[in-house]
Amino acid sequence: MFLKVFIFCCNLLIPLMLIIFGWVMQKHPPKNINSIYGYRTSMSMKNQDTWDFAHKACGKLWWKIGWIMLIFSAVVQLLFFNSDRNMIGILSAILCTVQCIILIGTIFPVEKALKKNFNPDGSRK
């Protein structure tokens, strides 16, 4: 029973981190462009305006997607909570893989929003 609860909680870590970091990126983004932390792509690091825009856009997206993934992951796990260990292991691997793909996939809409609002040199359109 302990193992099932532990795995249940572990499978909610990625969605919870998206919710937390999404909120932080929106409300308290890194003040200056840096190469250590934050949403760091070549377009987001063009200037302070693109940096701030990228963090706000990514933060909103992560916050929304985090809640969706949290609810979906919890429901799926509850449906299989009484399954055997092998099934729970397979389900956990699938959930983690899908969550990671979605997390990486958030780069595309943020970059699209940057390209829509900024010229290649970083000036606003």
Tell me the pLDDT tens digit for each residue of 63-89.
999 999 999 999 999 998 888 889 999
Report yes or no on 125 lying in a domain.
no
**Over the chain, what is the mean pLDDT?**
94
Query: Whole-angstrom Cα distance, residue 99 to residue 106?
Result: 11
- The domain containing residue 58 runs over which residues? 2-29+39-117
Report yes or no on 75 lying in a domain.
yes
CA nearest neighbour of 70 among 27, 110, 13: 13
How many independent structural domains does the chain possess?
1
> String of b and e for 59-78 (b: at least 16 CB within 10 Å)?
bbbbbebbeebbeebeeebe
H or E segment and range at residue 89: helix 85-105
Report yes or no on 122 lying in a domain.
no
Sign of the dihedral defined by the CA atoms of residues 42, 47, 51, 57, in that order: negative
What pTM was computed for the model?
Answer: 0.88
| pLDDT at position 35 | 85
| pLDDT at position 22 | 96
Confidence band for 50, pLDDT divided at 50, 70 and 90: very high
Report yes or no on 124 lying in a domain.
no
